[in-house]
């Protein structure tokens, strides 16, 4: 089996499972929106272009996701004081209140993913995935 196919198949299953988990736990967001919120939780105030880079999403997709999160009052865009063409992204109060619940959901999902894996297995998997990502970056 080709490695790329296996990774793609697993990523699709992971995304579908996360969408189900979010829905079952009362979150009105998708897996893509969850990913963006997760990045913002750790990097609040980054620019829209930095967010696109960190999430590996193109500018069109990140704009669409941010539009949806803004409509849900989870984020706000503010003009960058140094570059009037750029916007920085911040969590709203409602977005900040979701922070702990989203982190707990992430922990729960990660536990499910790693069932049956030892710490050594997880470290080896991370090493291999980092190597593959590096190969794709070059």
pLDDT tens digits, 20-30: 999 998 999 99
What Cα–Cα distance (Å) separates residue 114 from each residue in 27, 32, 34, 102, 107? 23, 21, 20, 18, 11
pLDDT 10s digits, 46-62? 999 999 999 999 999 99
How much is the average pLDDT of 63-69? 97
Q: pLDDT band for position 99 (50/70/90)?
A: confident
Burial per residue of 97-130, b for 16 or more beta-carbon CB atoms within 10 angstroms, e otherwise: ebeeebeebeeebeeeeeeeeeeeeeeeeeeeee
Quote the percentage of the chain above a pLDDT of 90: 72
pLDDT band at 83 (very low <50, low <70, confident <90, very high): confident
- Identify the pLDDT of residue 104: 87
Looking from the CA of 80 toward its CB, the CA atoms found within 13 Å total 14
Mark 17-28 as b/e (b = at least 16 C-beta within 10 Å).
Answer: ebbebbeeeebe
Question: What value does the mean pLDDT take over residues 9-27?
Answer: 92
Query: Is the pTM value of this prediction over 0.95?
Result: no
Torsion of CA 15, 39, 68, 79, to 10 degrees: -160
């Amino acid at each position: 089996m080709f490695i790329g196919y296996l990774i793609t198949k697993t990523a699709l299953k992971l995304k579908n499972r996360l969408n189900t988990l979010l829905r079952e736990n009362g979150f009105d967001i998708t897996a893509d929106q969850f990913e963006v919120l997760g990045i913002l939780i750790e990097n609040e105030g980054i620019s829209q272009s930095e967010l696109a880079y960190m999430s590996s999403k193109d500018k069109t997709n990140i704009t669409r996701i941010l539009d949806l999160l803004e409509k849900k009052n989870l984020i706000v865009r503010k003009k960058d004081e140094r570059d009037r063409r750029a916007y920085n992204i911040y969590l709203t109060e409602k977005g900040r209140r979701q922070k702990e619940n989203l982190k707990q959901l992430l922990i729960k999902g990660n536990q499910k993913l790693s069932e049956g894996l030892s710490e050594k297995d997880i470290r080896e998997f991370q090493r291999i995935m980092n190597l593959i990502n590096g190969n794709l970056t070059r």
